[in-house]
Structure 1
Amino acid sequence: MKKLVPFLLLLIATIAMAQDAVIPVKLLNSSKAGPERYLGADSYGWQYTVLDNEIRKEKDGRVLKFRALSLGDIYRADLQNPLQVVLFYRKFNTVVLLDNQMNETSRINFSDIPQPVIAEAVGLASQNRLWVYDITTQQVGLYDLAKGSFRTLASPFNDGIRYYQNDYNYFYWVDNANNWYAVNLFGKVNSLGKLPEFDQVQIVSPGSVIYSKDGIMYHFDPVTGTRTIVTIVEKSFRSFYYAGEILSIFTHSEIIHYKITLLK
């Protein structure tokens, strides 16, 4: 009987998986990788990785690098504008902006601004501004790079932030109960649904999410509550990144790129 129980559990999991629809993928290419942390790619095809607190930008054998020794670990990098890459050093409450040659153009310590904040999340917004989530007040706001000023936009987030992502017009976050929200540049907050339990996640659009759980990758529609298995071969990977119908999988030894068309 004891031997039968694990078999039954495996059978149930297999049947449940079989009931999910699947999204086929097409292998494009792969390349060897080392111990770097993969960040993603920009709109020009440059690949970004981090190794020993140094960010690297690579394409066609050319490598550009940047390192701020005094700031330690790079917590997050915003790559949506290759001409203004945003590096967030959470431990030092600091952001560094880089140009397309990986030269530092600006450095902001949020402890030193006129209205100091303790940043937990930072990303690039429109009109030369940064999204900033202040953990002290639990509020998100905008930091104006030209004026050097910060203003809050919305009421405090009562359930914290488990995951965040942004574009020029919206700051998205998933709270500790997996509820998903978005706030726009004018402070209007919208509820976008609840996400399944995940190990890693990336927001594709307000109605589309890719996530992984226990080595399986899914596409999730929060409006209908349906999930679809993404049929990658890898069962063990460190991270993934989706952009422009290209899904990049970063394993311990390779970067694999797939062509994928997400279900509407």
Structure 2
Amino acid sequence: MKSKSLWAGFLLLTFVITLPVSWGMLAKVNFLYPVLHDVVGIDKHIEIYAPKNRKNKLGFEKTSKEERARLFLGIVDAIHNHGEGLSALSYTATSNQQGTTQLMPLLTEPEIVHLKDVAVLLDKIKPLMLILITVWLFVVIVLKMKKVGMPDAVQFLWSALLLISLCGLLLLLGPEKIFNQLHIWAFPDEHQWFFFYEDSLMSTMMKAPVIFAYITGIWIILSIVLTSIILKLFSLPILLGAYKKAHA
């Protein structure tokens, strides 16, 4: 029973520590925004809502997919760098009448405040993850000292299916409900975090919260894959030891 408890704790901790790793991997590829731009239908979404912008940020519907990906990457870089550079994000707006172009700021002040809140949250999570990694290493040592073997293939499969099912259950609750509740918990009450498409090019170019459901799904799948790889590597010495004994 104790061995099973240690295994369950190890499995859960391994999954948790892979979350920031997979997050970092996705950040390096701009959270696949260029791909999701087409999959989610962001182009048509922008065509509908960008011309209706009530903050006098015009011409965004004429931007290219590449420019939107650049702006999204700018936001990604900023929230991982204490919110620096948010005010400088801008796009090229073209006038319908004269055909002239001008640089237009992408974000409004409430959006900048919100994204800085996101940056603060990410900064707070970093030391927590270091603590969890330390706990994970302690569990590894305990498992090694107690010589607790990894579960067989069937046990591992059931554990993986359980983990996937729990993540799937969260997604079934609805990405919008989860999105809203997490924001209520995470951010100051006096700071705006919900933005109508007509008031926010940021929300429009992300088709929020729809894009976050896709990103979360990819994030979880990648974390499960990394968890599986770590568990496989962890069990390798045990498998090699069993092989040597069998052929001694």
Normalized against structure 2, the TM-score is what? Answer: 0.25
- Higher RCO (C-alpha under 8 Å, 6+ residues apart): 2
Q: Greater CA radius of gyration, 1 or 2?
A: 2
